[in-house]
Structure 1
C-alpha cells in the first residue's frame, strides 16, 4: 500500500468514481455513468464546503477507490462533532486487497484530526458483506435508519 495516494477528488476522477458507484446491482439502478453532468455539479458543491471530503485512492495514476467523509458539528452528545462516511467503493480488481481498510482508516484518522468524537456510516441493508467488513473494523450496528425520497 506504500504506492497508494489518498487525495481529494477532482473533475477528472468523476468517470472512475461513478463507474465504481454503479458497479453492483444496487448502484446500477441508482447511478448514470452515461450522464456525468449532475456528478460534476455535485463535485463543485462539495468542493466549496469545508466539511465535505470526497477522496479517491490512486495507484499508478488509476483511481481504485473512493469515499465521502462529512464533518457535522452538533449540539447533542455535549456539543460533539461527528463524521459520516458514505459512498465507500473499491474497484472490482482491488477488492480483498486491504484497500477498503486503508480508506476507512484514513477517514477515521481524518475524523480525529477534525475533532470528531464519533464516526458513523450507513450501508444498504442488502450489502451484508459490507456489514461484516465494517464490523471487523470495530463499527457496531447500533441504529435503524430511515429514508424519505424527495
Structure 2
C-alpha cells in the first residue's frame, strides 16, 4: 500500500536516506518536517508499506512554472526501495503513483534527480519512461550551518 508518510516514519526514512547518500553527515529527518510536508498541497512524501513494514519511499514537489499557463511540473527525489524488496514492483508502483498525482494536477512534466553513481537505478528510471539524455541536472550544495529554530 502506498500512503503519505507520517511523523512516525522519520526513523525509517532517515535510514533510507543515509543509504542513498552515505557520505552525507547532515541527514536528520525531523518528524515535524514530515508533518509540514504532509500539510503542504504541493509536496508529497510517500511510503510503500507492506505488512507493517516500510519497503520504499519517494518524494514529489510540484513547482510553479511560468511558461505553461497555470500548469506546474513535478520534481522527484529520494526514490528508494530496500534491497530485499527490489524486483517486486515496488519502485514501479511508487513511480506510477507519482505519475497519477502529476496527471491529476495537470503537470507538464516530471523531473527526476538521481545520483550519478546509481546506474542500476538509472536503467530502472529509463524503463519507467524517464529520459536521461534530454537534460543535464546540476546541483550546488551549500554548507550546512547550525540553525536555531
TM-score of the two chains, using structure 1 as the length reference: 0.85
| Equivalent position of 2:141 in the other structure | 149
Distance 1:31 1:133 in 2: 27
Partner of 1:136: 127
Quote how far apart the aligned CAs of 1:147 are. 1.6
| Structure 2: stretches of 5+ with no match in the other structure | 143-149
What aligned pairs does 1:79-98 form with structure 2 within 5 A after superposition? 79-98=70-89
User: CA contact under 8 A between 2:6 and 2:35: conserved in structure 1?
Assistant: no
* Ranges of 4+ aligned residues in structure 1 off by more than 2 Å: 38-42, 77-80
Q: 1:17 and 1:131 mapped to 2: Cα distance?
A: 21
State the 1:76 CA deviation. 1.7
Unaligned runs of at least 5 residues, structure 1:
none
Relative distance call for 1:116 and 1:55 in structure 2 (3 A) is: same
For residues 20-55 of structure 1, give each alpha carbon's deviation from its aligned partner in whole angstroms, at most 9, with x where no partner exists.
Answer: 22225xx2222667xx5x532432432332100001
TM-align CA RMSD: 1.8
